[in-house]
Amino acid sequence: MGFPESRLAASRAGLAELRHVELTGSTNADLVAEARGGRADPVVLVADHQTAGRGRLDREWFDAGGALLVSFRFAARPEKAHEVMAAVAAAVRFGTAGQIRARVLVKWPNDLVVMSGGAMRKLAGLLAEWVDGPPSVVVVGVGLNVAAVDTDPPAASMEELGATVGRDRLLARIIDALPERLADPGLVRREIVAHSATVGRRVTIELPGPTRLVGRATELDREGRLVVVDDAGTRHVVSVGDVVRLRPAAPTS
């Protein structure tokens, strides 16, 4: 069986099982379908390849090969879904940190990025989906570039940045980091803010519809929403949107 270290980590973390498949359409879709059929047990599903991966807003996610493709399912009330998503993001950041020659940052709302070659490059993406119950569950999928990838714009990979650990060791590190973060939303928020690629920067955000918001990202609120102050001084609380441009904030006098 593949992923022996991760299987042990899943047992330590109290997850019901870790399943490994060579090929599937989407690990998220598989766990969501099971949840709609009545399964709510905590589980980890990892795949070598996906043929129908998706990102946020139903965008197609291209499987370039050599990635850690994994989804987690947890029982959670709908109002706690954002906390589960944030906990997984923090665990992935913790699991990759120190393994590469770059600082891993969290780019709101659902990416992990690194600064490399003078540019901000995507290392991993996450997608959370909530399934109504009873009991209700949250499924969080992760696509982490482990082997070098050829994409446009260029993504970053663990291998390219000096990592010597493979998918099994990385997943085990992520799973080991999960229980503490699932139990402590305050810790998660502190970690994400401390390692944020977004908070404190001047941002351009694409909102639903033909609307853009430009301003300074000042904080994340307790619901995981991004607070942006525009150039007129108006405070905006953004729950859905894509950050399409990040710049250092101008100094204030």
Q: DSSP E strands: which ranges in 25-167?
A: 43-50, 67-75, 104-107, 111-116, 119-131, 137-145
Domain assignment present for 228: yes
Residues 141, 175 within the same domain = yes
Number of domains in the chain: 2
Kindly report the length of the chain: 253
Residues 94, 45 within the same domain = yes
Which amino acid is located at 137 in the chain? V
pLDDT in tens, 54-102: 655 455 555 556 799 999 999 998 888 999 999 999 999 999 998 999 9
Q: Which residues are CB-contacts of 167 (< 8 A; sequence separation ≥ 6)?
A: 3, 46, 68, 146
**Predicted TM-score of the model (pTM):** 0.90
Whether residue 237 has pLDDT greater than 90: yes
Residues 122, 223 within the same domain = no
Question: Which tokens sit at 22?
Answer: 């060579």
Structural domain boundaries, residue 168? 4-194
pLDDT of residue 253: 40
Of 48-52, 81-85, 233-237, give the lowest mean pLDDT range: 48-52
